[in-house]
């Protein structure tokens, strides 16, 4: 039986951007990936996690992994914090800002952009957070180091970044493993290497890159 995975997209995404990632996880690792869709700008994190709980319940999975891109990782973080009793499995974050996002903070000063962010982003990304991974499942984090994206202009990073999120912003105490790859924030979703490392961690609990 195929292992099942829930993919949670980031801000202003729909889940469709993960098509190549989902296909590679299916083809190379035999995993069945279910994209969870939500409206970040129109929903609170409480509303989003409630919907995710209903989505997960309907899968009736005996083993279930989670993959979150960008804000999607924080949705998974809050979901497991609120609903810890889930089928066993592992988690991978792709370019998820585990502390306040410098790019999001700067973008929030632009009135039009701020109006499109919504409450979930304001609650999770616009002020410093001291988060720690305490869920009873292994977490692997992939950060990008190819600085392509408008976030690079907004945040003026003085460290490696993926064009939207700085590598230091992806660090989360309590995580099992953390690696960097030469991909951009959106580019990681079409990267064959990211897909392989994601599948490797979900199956083995570690990345192959050392």
Any domain includes 209? no
Q: Is residue 178 part of a domain?
A: yes
Number of structural domains found in the chain: 1
Strand order in the sheet with 139-144: 32-36, 4-8, 64-69, 91-94, 139-144, 177-181
Strand partners, 141: 93, 178
Domain that holds residue 32: 4-204
Q: What is the pLDDT of residues 120-139, one digit of tens each?
A: 666 676 667 788 999 999 99
pTM of the model: 0.91
For residue 80, being part of any structural domain is answered with yes
Tell me the pLDDT tens digit for each residue of 25-68. 999 999 999 999 998 878 889 999 999 999 999 999 999 999 99
Question: Where residue 87 sits, what CATH number does that domain have?
Answer: 3.40.50.1820
26 burial class (0-12, 13-18, 19+ CB within 10 angstroms)?
A: middle
3-class DSSP assignment, residue 87 = coil
Confidence grade of residue 12 (pLDDT, cut at 50, 70, 90): confident
Decide if 169 is inside a domain: yes
Strands (DSSP E) contained in 107-155 are 139-144
Q: Is 210 inside a domain boundary?
A: no
């Amino acid at each position: 039986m195929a292992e099942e995975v829930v993919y949670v997209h980031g801000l202003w995404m729909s889940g469709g951007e993960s098509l190549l990632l989902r296909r590679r996880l299916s083809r190379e690792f035999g995993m069945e990936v279910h994209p969870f869709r939500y409206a970040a700008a129109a929903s609170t994190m409480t509303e989003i996690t409630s919907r995710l709980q209903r989505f997960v319940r309907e899968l009736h999975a005996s083993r279930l992994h989670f993959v979150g891109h960008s804000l999607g990782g924080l949705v998974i973080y809050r979901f497991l914090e609120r609903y810890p009793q889930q089928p066993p499995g592992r988690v991978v974050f792709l370019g998820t800002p585990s502390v306040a996002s410098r790019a999001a903070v700067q973008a929030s000063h632009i009135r039009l952009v701020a109006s499109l962010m919504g409450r979930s982003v304001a609650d999770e990304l616009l002020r410093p957070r001291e988060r720690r991974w305490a869920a009873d499942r292994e977490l692997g984090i992939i950060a990008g180091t190819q600085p392509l994206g408008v976030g690079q202009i907004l945040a003026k990073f003085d460290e490696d970044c993926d064009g939207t999120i700085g590598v230091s912003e992806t660090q989360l105490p309590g995580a099992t493993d953390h690696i960097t790859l030469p991909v951009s924030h959106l580019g990681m979703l079409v990267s064959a290497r990211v897909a392989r490392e994601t599948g490797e961690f979900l199956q083995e609990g570690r990345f192959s890159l050392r």
